[in-house]
Structure formats: C-alpha cells, structure tokens
Structure 1
Amino acid sequence: MANETVDIAIIGAGVSGVYSAWRLKQAHPGKKIVVFESSDHVGGRLLSVQPPDIPNMVAELGGMRILPAVQPLITALIAELNQSLPPHEQIETYPFPVDQDQNLAYLRGVYLRLSDFTSQPDKVPYQLSFLDRGATAGSIILNAIEQIVPGITAPDLTEEQRRTMAQEASFGGLPLYQQGFWNVLLRVIDSEAYQLGVDAGGYNSTLSNWNAADAIPWYLSDFGIDPQYKGFCKGFQQVPKSIAALFQHAGGEIRLNATASRLKWENEVFEFAVEGKIIRAHQLILAMPRRAIDLLAATSPILQEIQRLTSSVTPRPLFKLFTTYNNPWWRAAGYTNSDNVYVPVQAGRSVTDLPVRQTYYWPQSDGQPAESGRAMLLASYDDGTNTGFWDGLRPQRHQLKRSGQEVAALVDPFVGEATASQTESTWHQYKAPRLMVAEVARQLGTMHGLNYTPEVRNAAFRDWGDDPFGGGWNSWNIGVKSWEVKKQIIKPLDICQLYICGEAYSDAQGWVEGALQTAEMMLKRMAC
C-alpha cells in the first residue's frame, strides 16, 4: 500500500475535527486536507439514530441539546449553515423541557411529584436542615455556590465574568482551583442536602470532586440561571454531517474506519500509520478527547512529552438507553389537579436513585409530546458510578490495548476504509441486550409505581466509557489552572505544528460549544 503525503491531517471527525477541516479548506482551498476517523461515522459523541417504525422521532445516543442563551458559537454556526443548506436540509430546533411539575421523583422508596419539593416538603425523604427544607435540589446547590463565591449567582453577570470570579476566588483560605467541588459543597451544606442534590439532580459526576473553579461557573451555565434548552428536529448529528458535506464538496477528504497509530515527528514532517499505510503531514491536528489521545500516545513518544497537559482533565462516564413502545404508556402516571383536570406525564424527565437515574419522555421531531401511537423513551440517562450497573447486563466493555501494539479499531469495525458518504449509523448497530432491556423495564415500572409496563419493541444503547472515548465528557482536574492549560494545549510544542482541540480542554466541557471554542482558538493560532 503506497504511502501518502498531505498538507494538513486531522485525526478525529467529531465536531471540532470537521469544523476545523471546513474552516481550513475555506482559507486554503488548494491544500490537501484529510480527516481520519477511527469509527464508522462523522460526529464523534453526537450520534443520532432513527428508531424502527417511528419515522417522526430521532434518538440521541450522544449529545442531545444546546443552550442558545449561553452558547453563542453553536448558535451562530447553525445560522451560518442554514444559509448554505437547501430548505429540506435546514437545521431546525425545538424547546427541550426538563423538569415538569407533574413528573416523578422516586427517591429512597418514596414517590414524589417534582412540585412536592416546594409544596409538600414533609414528603421529601431526606433529613434536611430548616434552611434547606422546602427547596428544590437545584436551589440548594445554587445557595451553596453563592456562599462559596458571593455574588456569582447574580443573573446580570456574563459567562466570562462568572469564570473570572471563580478563577480568582479563594475559599477557606485556599484558592478555589486547588479544591474539589464536592469538598467545598460539604463545607456549606450537610451530607443529606448534598445527597439530595445528587439524587434529585439526576447526575452523579457534575457534583463530584472536580476542579471547583471550573465546576461552579459550569454548573451555573448548565443548570443554575434559568436554562432554556433546544433539541434538534432531525437529530444533533445533522450539524457535523452538514459541516462534513460542505468540507467534502470543497474538495476535502474524510476517511472513516481509519485508526491512526505510531505518530512521530521526523525531518520536519509528521508520520503516522493508518491501516498499514504511512501518512505524512506538514501540519497535524488532534481533534480528540483525552482517552483517545492517551491511546495514540501509547505508540507515539512525541505525545508522551506533553502528558502533563493532556492529563489535566478526567474522562467522565455516560450511558444512554432508548426504548420504544406501541403507545406512550407513561401518560397514565399523571395526576388530577385541584381544578379536577388530569395532567399527564408527557414531556421532560423523571428522576430516581435507581440505576436508570433519569428518564426522558422523548418528543416527536417537531418537539411535541407523543400523545398516541408508537412512542419512545430515553429510558436511562446515566452517569457516574451507576453506569457500572449495566456492565453486568451487556457484552464485556471494549477497551483498546495500551501496549506498544497498534491500536485496534472499534467493536465490529467495517473492513478497510470508508468515506463519510458511504456509511450511516443505524439503530441496530447499538441494539441493547435482552437482559438489559428486561432490567430497565423492571426499573421503569418501579419508578412509575406500576406493576407492569408494556413490552419494549426495540432498544438501543451507547456507553461512552468504551474506548476510544473513555467517557461522555471531560472535567478539569483539581489544582489545574484551566485558563492557562487551554491556551498551552492548542499548540503544545514549539518544534512542530502539532495542534489539539476538542471539548475536553475547554470552558464548556461536555458541550459542542466547548469543541467549537477550542477549534476557534486553534484556528487563530494557526493563522499567526
């Protein structure tokens, strides 16, 4: 197989990779720019699949929403893409609700409506202090954050102002960036209030021990200051697919199932192996999360030199399981209000301390709730330690070897290389095992107070802890000055034009906004 030389090689076809490729092709139309992707799809952790027999719904096995009010880059990008896309390919969004008063919280064996936290606090099965009693889980955490960094929850502050306040703050005589989020929270609230924040909040990893100076402004953006989410009518993966199509139309190349290994810098050029072929590049971009960089570093001494930077974040687990049904049976879990009007459970989420953790009543492609006919649940949206529960109900977790051997492809890879136009992710690629489906059905029945739930027609899952991702998102480590590292890692070595981008090393970790932020920073650096 003949070796090949390209001007710019990009490893990783997630949002940051294809976006960088597109922008560079616009700026340098004559250069040969190639994106190499180890998986079978463009989009990275954006993965939208069509459930069988439900043409008006799209399951989001990866990222599923944006926050337009605090995410200007993705908002502007969608507007720009829509100027180039024909009417039938426009990227459209809809309001994506989360907490609805009538929805359920099944915690410590007690059934609650989400409204009960404020209207019937005596029902809440946590030993809360007088100050926390009658508050929601989110407001308890907000009040704690305000005590840690006074003034930071003021609604008129910008995102940048909140980040600066947290970066410059100290708590208990120690700079905030040197402390863990969990550690400082337990200095201002007791363990029962903290556990309520975890259980009713639906997430384990967000309140875990990561860098408090990053966690606090991140939490306020995502959950704290009246967040208004938007979902995608045709699936979030439409965004990177549209970018990739524009890049390819301009003459760029995207090669799928193309796993890179043995990266080195010699004679003023990068060399790496892909499917037994040596690729040479004058400039190299790693558009990858930490775990993927670690895997490549196992065979690449040049990346081992920058481990101090790449290891400044920690991958966090994330698991999603979708199930489909003949009808939206969860509507029967509603209640009759004081006006004698029945209010169904039909949108947003319910939460539980069972391993399923969060269940979203999935909307139709126009954002409207399913009222009849075939319907779908995001049956389990799970992070943190609870993801390990599902390991016993699935094939062995796939971990790539970290020895000097060449890094393998993903589970069930296609043979040889493919281009972005040749493959399409399907529901059946991610089919959930029978035991997993039976267990999630049992837990759904429990959390909804039902002895029986209708048969699951189809189920698909994605565990983002599998290699090469290592997690669904990344968080800054305690003691790291993220505002310095994010600038250094863009171009970590002076001797060569190696660049790194992606959500892992951004201010908006876990969001496409973070991927775009670091890509823009990198592109500006490349233009210098």
Structure 2
Amino acid sequence: MAEENFDIAIVGGGVSGVYCAWRLKQERPHDKIAVFEASNHIGGRLLSVRPPDIPDMVAELGGMRILPAVQPLITRLIADLNQQLPQDQQIKLYDFPVDEPQNIAFLRGVYLRLADFTNDPAKVPYQLNFIDQGQSAGSVIVNAIEQIVPGITNPSLNEEQRRQMAQQAEFGGVPLYKQGFWNVLLRVLTGEAYHYAEDVGGYDSTLCNWNAADAIPWYLSDFGVSPEYKGFSNGFQQVPLTLAQLFQQLGGEVRLESSVSNIVSKGDGFEFQVKGRTIAAKSLILAMPRRSLELLAVTSPVLQEIQPLIGSVTPRPLFKLFTTYDSPWWRNTGYASANAKGEPTYVAVQSGRSVTDLPVRQTYYWPKSNGQPATQGHAMLLASYDDGDNTGFWDGLRAKRRQPRGAGLDVAPLADPFIGEDDNVQRNELTWHQYKAPRMMTEEVTRQLTMMHSLNYTPKVRNAAFRDWGDDPYGGGWNSWNIGVKSWEVKRRIVQPTDLPLYICGEAYSDAQGWVEGALQTAGYLLEKFGVLPFH
C-alpha cells in the first residue's frame, strides 16, 4: 500500500516541471500536487551561480539567454511573473552581446578580428569561393539554406511559416525530414565553406547531421535573422526558482533530493518509489529530457513500452568553464584604429565573445549584472563554451563520467581540484564550489586562452567552476530531432503517449530544442490535456 497519495506528481524540477506545477495548482487549488527533483536544486539545466570573489556577476553554467523576437512564451512568462513579484525581486534583463567587431578569431594559427571576415576577407585562412568570400559564417549558412528551401529566408515569414515550409519541402526529390542537415549543406557548400561556418560559428552540433526539416527553421531563428539576445541580471535560474516559490505559496510541495524509480501502473494511476517509500499518483508528469527518461525506464515498465518515442531525439553534449581574475586582462588585447577624423584610437576587447578552433572554442567576456562590461577590479570569463566532439577533449582532465555522487549532488567529488584564491575564506557561495573545476582543466584552459589572445604572459586564475551537461542524468545540454522523424507529429503524441494518465514534457520534444521556449511549448501542450490554458 502506498505511504502517500497525490492527485498529480511531477518528476523533474526544471522549467517545464515547475511551470506545469504552478499553472495546475492555480487552476486546481484543492488537488494535492508535488514536484520530485533528484538534485539539490530547482532549475534543471538552468544553473546560475555567483563566484566567491565577484558579487555583481552571475555565472550561467547552464542556459544563459533568450531571443525575445522569436520566443514569445518565455517573454510573456517573464512579464507575467514580474506582475506578481515585488520591485526588488523583479526578473531583469539586459542586452547580451555576442559578436563585437574588435573581438578575436584565432583560426588555423591566424589571428583575426571578427570584422576581418567582411572587411578584409583576404586575411581569412579558408579557401572560399567568390560567393562565400567576404560573408560572415552565419550568412554562408543562410545563403545555403535559401538554396535548399527557396524563399524560406524571406524576412516577412514568421516562425510557424518557416517550419511548415521545411516540413513540406523536398531536396533532390527526397523529403527534407528524411535527410541530415550536414548532408544537404554539403550539396550546396564547399567543404571549406562548411568548416569555415562551423569554426567561426563556435558550435559543432548545430551543423551536424540532425533532421534537416527541423534544423533549418531552428538555425534561422537562432542565428539567421539578426538575433538580439537578452541576459538575466540575477541569473536565468531565477525564472524556475520563482515558479517553484509561487507554486509552494499556493500549497504545492517541492521535494529535493528525491529520485524517482520503479514506476508501475496501479489501478487508475501509478505507484513509484522515492527513498524506499511507495508513493501513488492519479496523474504522473515526467518533465525530463531523453537521457533522464531512459535511466528511469530501466526500472519502469510503463516507459519501456514507449522507447521508440523517447528515442526520437538525440542528446547533444555541452560544456562550460568559468574562470575569474584580478582584473579584465583581455582589455589589453585590443588594437589601434583610426576614428572618423583619422586620429589614432585604441579599441579594447571588452564584451561579447571571441572564437577559435582550439578546444575552448568560444570565450565570452562576461558582463556585470547590469549588462555592462568589467573595466577594472575582479572580472570573469566564460572561458570555454563548447559542444560536440570538443567536449571530449576535457574528459581527460576531469573525473571520469558516471562516478558515484553524493545524494542530490550533480557531480562527483574531485581528487585534484583547482585551489582558488578564496578557498580558505568562509563564504556563502557554496553552489560555485560544488562545481569547482579540476586543476589540470584550469591549467589547460589558461594555456589555450594565452595562445588564443596572443599574450606573452599567463593570466592568473582566481577561481574556476565548470559543468559538463553530457553527464547523467541529462546526457546533453540540448536535444535534436533524429533524421526521418516527423517531429510535428511526435511532439504532440509524446505528451500523452498511451491511454494512461502519463504525460511527458520538456525541451527535448519541441520546436525550440535547446531553449526554455521549447520547454514552455511542450508544457502548454500538456496543460491542454488537463483543460488548463498555458497562460491566463
């Protein structure tokens, strides 16, 4: 017999889980609803931590930005939450810079500024044809996409129209959804142009072989139409933390360090195990990515029956490493230029990102909480932001994957951690220290940053923290649709994959994979099953 009974149990404390909990509790105030989260915090792949030596910066070890122009769900959610929050708890955004013209591109051993790709293409160390020469990396891919699906880059089209065009399109007489993105790109691009776009773009997995019918509109949303990003002054994790807080104020329960296993159907609902106790629920919501569902399926027959649906996406690894310093040393890596009057002036590297084909791939000069660049005093870098095969480089410099972890912890303890400047000081930034980087990893990223910025000295790291989202239970930082999958059908079907009151939601099975927007989209589909509108 079950020791506890719930009307609705939600497994997973990421955005989709706590958002569903909040909306359901609003509409069903008398239902007993609980969120069960295996880790020691709410947020899932949103993980915002403050470094111990910089109180006015927040390191985003997980998701770090939104695109308001093409992401109406998260934009509206923030507005709704701010209406309920006092002024001093408001979710505040700032302009999140990316590619600044004075920033660095160190590729194939050549030092460039990002402006050189369009202003001085002769410097670019890639053998590009006359069509691609002088184009930015994003423009090369957008031009290729236009050849694959003519008309899809028309700026008058909205997101849904682009998706429908790609879903209905054929290329070479074969439906686009049956082809890989990499495969079709190389039908209209030279190999050099592809490597140029991949190296300068900073990501490997975005241009890899995933479902072309999904990859094309996804790429145009993210990189193709002059994207303008927004960051979070107090960290992106503030969104799910606020949702969980509002849910609890309505009488809902949040249980951390509560790993769920052994789900079985029982009568009209389900029973499962948490810390050796049997819990029953009339309805069960799994707000989880693919890898988490697979791990749960090992002990849960009800999930083993829907493995083909669960396996319709592929987890993609993402890795982030933050480092802090006594000063923003990168401001000394600018260059001399001339102003409008022809007078010499110095242009400093201060915000946005630089890129390289070294394993660090992307380096972001991290802003303060108000969005302004650091000009003096302690400062921070997102020293390495990489994905795909490059994440494997760091495996040799860290604890092995799938090592035993403490209850509720995300990572295994380090045998050889980097000893930071503040390690012997009693502080409140315990979350940062939970994700401390290994010594060898910190030394290697420092070596690559020194090379990337053409320095004759080595910047001294004060503190370092990292997160590899390829670790279990996530399996990846985002998920992509597999080739041959009709995502527009699966994304609806997986919400309630059987006749049982079992529901699945999350970024993995959405149109906006890798974004909180996708988590909210699938949460909306799920709420419809309960007769609840996603928004008031």
1:317–1:465 contact (8 Å) kept in structure 2: yes
TM-score in terms of structure 1 length: 0.95
Give the structure 2 partner of residue 38 of structure 1.
Answer: 38
Structure 2, unaligned runs of 5 or more: 414-427
- Within 5 Å, which residues of 2 pair with 1:80-479? 80-339=80-339, 340-398=344-402, 410-411=410-411, 426-479=431-484
Aligned length in residues: 513
Q: In structure 1, how many angstroms separate the alpha carbons of the residues matched to 2:154 and 2:199?
A: 26
2:233–2:369 contact (8 Å) kept in structure 1: yes
1:128–1:192 contact (8 Å) kept in structure 2: yes
Q: In structure 2, how many angstroms separate the alpha carbons of the residues matched to 1:238 and 1:408?
A: 20
Q: Give 1:453's aligned amino acid.
A: T
Give the structure 1 partner of residue 8 of structure 2.
Answer: 8
Structure 1, unaligned runs of 5 or more: 402-406, 414-422
Cα shift readout 1:472-522 (whole Å, capped 9, x = no counterpart): 00000000000000010010001x100000000000000000000000111
Q: In structure 2, how many angstroms separate the alpha carbons of the residues matched to 1:225 and 1:411?
A: 37
Identity %: 71
Q: In structure 1, how many angstroms separate the alpha carbons of the residues matched to 2:458 and 2:278?
A: 54
Q: In structure 2, how many angstroms separate the alpha carbons of the residues matched to 1:22 and 1:249?
A: 10
Cα shift readout 1:13-38 (whole Å, capped 9, x = no counterpart): 00000000000000100111000001
For the aligned residue pairs, the C-alpha RMSD in angstroms reads 1.6
Runs (4+) off by over 3 Å? 407-413
Q: In structure 2, how many angstroms separate the alpha carbons of the residues matched to 1:244 and 1:10?
A: 12
Q: In structure 2, how many angstroms separate the alpha carbons of the residues matched to 1:262 and 1:458?
A: 41
Q: CA deviation at 1:412?
A: 5.3
Give the structure 1 partner of residue 421 of structure 2.
Answer: none
Give the structure 1 partner of residue 488 of structure 2.
Answer: 483
Q: Give 2:492's aligned amino acid.
A: K
Q: In structure 1, how many angstroms separate the alpha carbons of the residues matched to 2:305 and 2:409?
A: 25
Confirm whether residue 58 of structure 1 aligns to residue 63 of structure 2. no
Q: In structure 1, how many angstroms separate the alpha carbons of the residues matched to 2:240 and 2:321?
A: 22
Q: In structure 2, how many angstroms separate the alpha carbons of the residues matched to 1:131 and 1:335?
A: 29
Q: In structure 1, how many angstroms separate the alpha carbons of the residues matched to 2:356 and 2:154?
A: 30
TM-score in terms of structure 2 length: 0.94
Give the structure 1 partner of residue 525 of structure 2.
Answer: 521
Residues 249 and 240 of structure 1, relative CA distance in 2, 3 Å threshold: same
Q: CA deviation at 1:141?
A: 0.5
1:363–1:369 contact (8 Å) kept in structure 2: yes
Cα shift readout 1:103-126 (whole Å, capped 9, x = no counterpart): 000000000000111111111111
1:38–1:410 contact (8 Å) kept in structure 2: no
Q: CA deviation at 1:220?
A: 0.3
1:40–1:425 contact (8 Å) kept in structure 2: no
Q: In structure 1, how many angstroms separate the alpha carbons of the residues matched to 2:58 and 2:409?
A: 27
2:40–2:409 contact (8 Å) kept in structure 1: no
Q: CA deviation at 1:424?
A: 8.6
1:106–1:112 contact (8 Å) kept in structure 2: yes
Cα shift readout 1:279-306 (whole Å, capped 9, x = no counterpart): 1000000000000000000111110111
Residues 400 and 171 of structure 1, relative CA distance in 2, 3 Å threshold: farther
Cα shift readout 1:64-93 (whole Å, capped 9, x = no counterpart): 000000000000000000011111100000
